[in-house]
């Protein structure tokens, strides 16, 4: 899978007693001002240095 679009998402960090996420991720808006090459892939460190 190749990333094609950047979106903003609303995320709730609440977990239940079993450790599962309580609420799904909700897409907020497409970021037409950002290119996929500007955003680190999930799990990659985005802090400089």
Question: Using one digit for the tens of pLDDT, what is the confidence trace for 1-49?
Answer: 788 899 999 888 888 899 888 888 899 999 999 999 988 877 777 666 5
**Separation between Cα atoms, residue 44 and residue 36, nearest integer Å:** 14
Which residues, other chains included, contact 19 with Cβ-Cβ below 8 Å and sequence gap of 6+?
A: none
Within a domain: 16: yes
What pTM does this model have?
0.55
Within a domain: 20: yes
Within a domain: 49: no
Within a domain: 1: no
Within a domain: 47: no
pLDDT of residue 23: 83
Domain region containing 21: 7-38
């Amino acid at each position: 899978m190749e990333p094609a679009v950047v979106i903003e998402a609303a995320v709730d960090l609440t977990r239940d007693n079993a450790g599962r996420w309580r609420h799904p991720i909700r897409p907020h808006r497409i970021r037409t001002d950002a290119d996929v090459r500007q955003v680190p892939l999930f799990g990659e460190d985005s802090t400089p240095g």
